[in-house]
Amino acid sequence: MTGGDRSSTDVGGGHIGLAVTIIALIVVASFSGARWTLIVAGGFTAWFILALTVIHIRGGRGREAVRRAYVATFGWGYHVTP
């Protein structure tokens, strides 16, 4: 997916997923404190690094690899919007 409408839609869903994740982290921080916030943020960070590593091993390079890892981590945001 190096172009076309689906690629831009995936990244848009990634932006929505990232925004929802940030809002959720703020809510978690306000109710549970820094410990759980860091645990949840660490989980998303670990997932992003794992996705980036797998994409890199499979031959992805540069900005395309980062975009694909971003979509793999936060692309679920596409399903949040109507």
How high is the pLDDT of residue 7?
A: 57
pLDDT above 50 (res 2): no
Burial 3-32 (b: 16+ CB within 10 A, else e): eeeeeeebbebbebbbeebeeebeebbeee
pLDDT for the residue numbered 81: 72
Of the chain, the percentage scoring pLDDT greater than 70 comes to 88
Per-residue pLDDT at 41? 94
Other beta carbons within 10 angstroms of residue 60's beta carbon come to 17
Confidence (pTM): 0.79
What residues does each domain of the chain span?
5-79
